[in-house]
């Protein structure tokens, strides 16, 4: 069974007790990761935006080929 990613209230309380600087670093790292993932998704969509059939669907073979 996969490990649960749910954060308990106790764990959240522990996080609230962390020093301000540590909380600031965690928040900064989270924002950097979020921006990096968002940029990767945007780049991926931009790269594949013109590879569509007349119906609007992406060609699956083009997506598979580009990942190699």
Number of H helices, E strands in the chain: 3, 0
Q: How many domains, in total, are found in the chain?
A: 1
pLDDT > 70 in the chain, percent: 66
Question: Does 15 map to a domain?
Answer: yes
State residue 35's pLDDT score: 96
Pair 51, 58: CB distance under 8 Å: yes
Q: Is residue 43 part of a domain?
A: yes
Q: What is the pTM of this model?
A: 0.50
Residue 4 lies in a domain: no
Provide the pLDDT confidence category of residue 62 given band limits of 50, 70 and 90.
low
**Residue 1 covered by a domain:** no
When the pLDDT of each residue in the chain is averaged and rounded to a whole number, the result is: 77
Give domain status of residue 42, yes or no: yes
pLDDT band at 2 (very low <50, low <70, confident <90, very high): low
The answer to whether 63 and 48 are in contact (CB under 8 A) is: yes
d(CA 58, CA 26): 37
Q: Supply the range of the domain harboring residue 61.
A: 9-66
18: Cβ contacts below 8 Å, ≥ 6 apart: 26
Residue 36 lies inside a defined structural domain of this protein: yes
> What value does the mean pLDDT take over residues 34-56?
84
């Amino acid at each position: 069974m996969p490990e649960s990613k749910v954060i308990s209230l106790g764990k959240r309380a522990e996080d609230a007790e962390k020093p301000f600087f540590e909380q600031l670093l965690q928040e900064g790292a989270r924002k950097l990761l979020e921006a990096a993932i968002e940029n990767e998704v945007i780049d991926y969509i931009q790269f594949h935006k013109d590879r569509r059939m007349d119906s609007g669907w992406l060609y699956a073979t083009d997506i598979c080929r580009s990942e190699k």
